[in-house]
């Protein structure tokens, strides 16, 4: 089939045509292409396939849920949506209210709207600005596209919106090194003073900028942001769309810092990729303040909180807990580190970094080759060897399903190592 002429419009993140590949089926962490070749999804589909394909318990749950209640409108409760809300609140430490959404973008859209409505409702309508990080990705719909700070994933052609201000993440853009926590505090404090806290509604942060190159901040980073937000009356939104549900080694990556965000957004791995579902968790106190101010939210999404998605999410959480997958992700970090870190000796590698099941190789320009080209060559070589990794802006990301076997993780890592060594040799 000539894919370029098919009726389906498919784009990759950089606006170029995707390679003409058709996936016929999937089993565990592996997919099968139309030519019969199998490949390991070392990027968990699109960072969502936490339990691999065709997990028998998820399939049975989805089938049962469909035949019990095939749909429930967002104006009503279902047993499934109530049970999932309780479970999510419990995982977050309790006393959160859950509003359902459909995608990471829509969850972040709702979260920023909640923050603005809250300040409107408390008589501070000038507090409108959303602060986000320069290496962030929050989605490419609605407000999420303006909050996205990482140039490689910005929607080009739109001018910047004055209600969205990007500040440096934990990494110094000039040196490429991490800022110290004291530098971060001083930098953010200065930016808040410059913008004026009376103009700022919220700060939205990923605990680890994943699409932005797996930037793992120093310990204490989120605690500083949390404290600054408290002190300056800024609603803190933590975007756990990628990091949530075990990928960082915790249920939610912010939990490492012992903080309690005002709002947490989640998507992707919530249903292990089996059903479109996202959620916005809001502290009870923020929820009550919104109710009292009577400023309507008006964010109704027909398919949000679908009972099938909620049941699948509950089962996914049950399996993740039962099989100890958060702990496993934390322990597996040792394997990624041991196999990938030695690549830093090569000319083409700038840095290897990561936590849990989320790792990145950052490439360096050398000789005539630019880092983005080298990363793409390495990714293509991996794919030839039946291992799918993600390359963008000179960085390769690898984040396999949480229930991958040690053999599968070793396969993904050694394929990547071989590909880097091969390309490094050729350059
Ligand atoms: C941290 C983060 N937030 C939000 C999104 C957007 O999610 P979606 O593609 O479901 O809209 C993504 C997608 O990769 C993400 O990585």
Strands, sheet with 395-398, edge to edge from the N-terminal-most edge strand: 349-355, 358-363, 395-398, 390-392
pLDDT (tens digit per residue) in 85-103: 999 999 999 999 999 999 9
Span 3-55+324-426: which CATH code?
3.90.1150.10
CA of 66 to the centre of ligand 1 (A): 26
Whether 103 lines ligand 1, by a CB cut-off of 6 Å, is: yes
Q: What average pLDDT does this structure show over 68-93?
A: 97
Of 48-62, 269-283, 289-303, minimum mean pLDDT range: 289-303
* Residues 223/258, Cβ–Cβ less than 8 Å: yes
Q: Which of 44, 139, 208, 238 to mutate to test the pocket of ligand 1 (most atoms within 8 A of CB)?
A: 139
**What do you get for the CA distance between the two ends of the chain, in Å?**
35
Of 119-128, 141-150, 238-247, 406-415, minimum mean pLDDT range: 141-150
Grouping H, G, I as helix, E, B as strand and the rest as coil, residue 351 is strand
Of 58-72, 148-162, 413-427, minimum mean pLDDT range: 148-162
pLDDT (tens digit per residue) in 322-363: 999 999 999 999 999 999 999 999 999 999 999 999 999 999
Whether 202 lines ligand 1, by a CB cut-off of 6 Å, is: no
Strands, sheet with 129-133, edge to edge from the N-terminal-most edge strand: 96-101, 278-283, 263-266, 235-239, 200-205, 129-133, 164-167
The domains spanning 3-55+324-426 and 58-322 adopt the same CATH topology: no
pLDDT of residue 69: 98
Of 118-122, 359-363, 366-370, minimum mean pLDDT range: 366-370
CA of 405 to the centre of ligand 1 (A): 26
Q: Which of 142, 241, 272, 390 to mutate to test the pocket of ligand 1 (most atoms within 8 A of CB)?
A: 241
Whether 242 lines ligand 1, by a CB cut-off of 6 Å, is: yes
Q: The CATH number of 58-322 is which of 3.30.70.1060, 3.40.50.300, 3.90.226.10, 3.40.640.10?
A: 3.40.640.10
Give the number of other Cβ atoms within 10 Å of residue 117's Cβ: 20
In the chain, domain spans: 3-55+324-426, 58-322
Grouping H, G, I as helix, E, B as strand and the rest as coil, residue 293 is helix
* Residues 307/72, Cβ–Cβ less than 8 Å: yes
Give the number of other Cβ atoms within 10 Å of residue 159's Cβ: 5
What integer best gives the mean pLDDT of the chain?
Answer: 94
Which residue from 51, 151, 19 is spatially nearest to 357, judged by alpha carbons?
Answer: 51
Instruction: Note the helical H segments in 92-159.
Output: 104-121, 142-147
Whether 153 lines ligand 1, by a CB cut-off of 6 Å, is: no
17 pLDDT above the threshold of 80: no
């Amino acid at each position: 089939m000539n894919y370029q002429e098919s009726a389906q419009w498919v784009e990759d993140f950089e606006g170029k045509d995707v390679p003409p590949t058709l996936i016929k089926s999937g089993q565990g962490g592996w997919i099968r292409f139309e030519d019969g070749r199998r490949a390991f999804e070392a990027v968990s589909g699109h960072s969502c396939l936490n339990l691999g394909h065709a997990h028998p318990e998820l399939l049975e749950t989805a089938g049962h849920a469909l035949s019990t209640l095939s749909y429930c409108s967002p104006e009503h409760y279902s047993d499934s949506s109530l049970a999932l809300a309780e479970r999510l609140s419990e995982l977050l430490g309790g006393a959160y209210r859950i509003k359902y959404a459909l995608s990471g973008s829509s969850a972040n859209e709702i979260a920023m709207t909640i923050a603005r409505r809250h300040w409107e409702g408390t008589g501070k309508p000038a507090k409108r600005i959303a602060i986000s990080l320069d290496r962030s990705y929050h989605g490419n719909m609605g407000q999420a596209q303006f909050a996205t700070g990482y140039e490689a994933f910005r929607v080009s052609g739109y001018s910047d919106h004055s209600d969205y201000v990007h500040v440096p993440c934990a990494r110094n853009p000039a040196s490429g090194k991490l800022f110290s926590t004291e530098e971060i505090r001083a930098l953010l404090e200065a930016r808040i003073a410059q913008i004026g806290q009376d103009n700022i509604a919220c700060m939205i942060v990923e605990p680890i900028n994943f699409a932005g190159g797996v930037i793992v901040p120093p310990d204490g980073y989120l605690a500083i942001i949390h404290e600054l937000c408290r002190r300056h009356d800024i609603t803190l939104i933590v975007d756990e769309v990628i990091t949530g549900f075990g990928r960082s080694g915790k249920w939610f990556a912010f939990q490492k810092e012992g903080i309690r965000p005002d709002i947490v957004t989640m998507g992707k791995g919530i249903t292990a990729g089996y059903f479109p579902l996202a959620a916005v968790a809001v502290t009870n106190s923020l929820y009550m303040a919104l109710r009292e101010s009577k400023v309507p939210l008006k964010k109704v999404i027909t398919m949000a909180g679908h009972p099938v998605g909620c049941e699948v999410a509950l089962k996914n959480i049950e399996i993740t807990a039962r099989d100890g997958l958060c702990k496993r992700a934390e322990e597996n970090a040792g394997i990624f580190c041991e196999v990938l870190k030695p690549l830093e000796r090569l000319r083409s590698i700038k840095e290897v970094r990561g936590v849990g099941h989320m790792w990145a190789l950052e490439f360096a320009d050398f000789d005539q080759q630019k880092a983005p080209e080298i990363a793409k060559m390495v990714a293509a070589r991996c794919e030839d060897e039946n291992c799918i990794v993600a390359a963008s802006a000179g960085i390769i990301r690898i984040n396999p399903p949480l229930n991958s076997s040690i053999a599968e993780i070793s396969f993904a890592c050694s394929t990547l190592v071989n590909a880097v060594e091969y390309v490094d040799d050729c350059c």
